[in-house]
Amino acid sequence: MSGLRLDGKVAVVTGSGRGLGRAYAVALAGAGAAVVVNDVDVTAASETVELIASAGGRAAAEIAAVGDTAAAEALASRAVDEFGRLDVMVTNAGVLRDRVLWKMTDEDFDLVIATHLRGTFTCARAAATRMREQGDGGRIIVVGSPAGQFGNFGQTNYAAAKAGVIAFAQTWAMELARSEITVNAIVPTAWTQMTATIPIYAPLAEAVEAGRGFPRSVRRDHAIGLPEDCAPVVVFLASEAAAGVTGQAIGIGGDKLTLYSHPAEAAVLYSDDGWSAEEVAAAWAESLAAKMQPVGMKLAPLELGTGG
């Protein structure tokens, strides 16, 4: 499909030394884009560049920890200096510092917010500025998480940052529409170093190490596959085929593709001249309690008996 080719386009993928970021970078290069590979790990970034180059693609590494303005500007400038322009920004870089609320330190909170939320902001701002100067549109793809959609135990910092990333996409989609720059969030799920730490998935580790495929039930009910399973949606959103898609949150993982709904009012009641506390309590008991919204990610039981 010609509308999915990215020949002549230039992309930046933050945190692309390994895992999901590497899968995005390799897939974008495979579709024809030149890619700036970003990571804090020189060896990992170099390996991704070599993977792309060995397949006939073009890539360059830019070593930086995303978060501050200087790193974001360096990434945008590297794309222009190395390949002549910037068309696609994928803000994938992230870190985890999981602890329950009463044990989370300021440092735990600040590092995750700086990397995920501020890093997405600074990189998107640098990209939007460059794309508007070029005058021919562009693609910004930010990265959310199920934790940001539903909340997740022990992830105050991460869930808040990822929820904010979705709000970024919705806001920037409006602000950048006249410049023909689309902004979308992806919500990927895949087997990564992070996923491997989730207790329910411990039985999958042996299958991964042995190179066996994931059971169909895991790929469907848990949306867990390899990072490469998530990359096609990035190629799609970077392409002309997605020119009319903006402000969306799109989940992908394993065999599952999801379009998330935007937050909406679950129930609405009115009271002339406002509400007293007693009236709120009565309305809650009579009507609203039955429509309370669930919190937390709900995982299906892990079934390993079905072949992949």
> pLDDT tens digit string along 155-191?
999 999 999 999 999 999 999 999 999 999 999 999 8
Query: How does residue 12 score in pLDDT terms, banded at 50, 70 and 90?
Result: very high
Q: In which band, very low, low, confident or very high, does the pLDDT at 2 lie, cut at 50, 70 and 90?
A: low
Which whole number is the average pLDDT over 137-163?
96
Q: Which two tokens stand for residue 198?
A: 């989730």
User: Is 158 annotated as catalytic?
Assistant: yes
Q: Which of 9, 16, 24, 145 is catalytic?
A: 145
Please tell me the predicted confidence (pLDDT) of residue 262.
94
**pLDDT tens digits for range 249-285:** 999 999 999 999 999 999 999 999 999 999 999 999 9
- Rounded distance between C-alpha atoms, residue 54 and residue 47, angstroms: 10
Catalytic residue among 16, 24, 162, 239: 162
Task: Please indicate whether residue 162 is annotated as part of the active site.
Answer: yes
Q: Supply the pLDDT for residue 300.
A: 79
Confidence of residue 307 (pLDDT cuts 50, 70, 90): very low
- Cβ(231)–Cβ(48) under 8 Å? no
Range with lowest mean pLDDT among 127-141, 200-214, 250-264: 200-214
For the question of residue 9 being annotated catalytic, the response is no
What does the pLDDT read at residue 136? Answer: 97
DSSP E strand stretches across the chain: 10-13, 34-39, 59-63, 88-91, 138-143, 181-188, 249-253, 256-259
- pLDDT over 70, % of the chain: 98
Predicted confidence band at 305 (pLDDT cuts at 50, 70, 90)? low
pLDDT for 26-78, tens place per residue?
999 999 999 999 999 999 999 999 999 999 999 999 999 999 999 999 999 99
CA dist., res. 36 & res. 231, Å (int): 16
CB 154: neighbour CB atoms within 10 A?
16
Confidence of residue 200 (pLDDT cuts 50, 70, 90): confident
Query: Domain residue spans in the chain?
Result: 2-190+226-259
Class in CATH terms, 2-190+226-259: alpha beta
Q: What value does the mean pLDDT take over residues 193-206?
A: 78
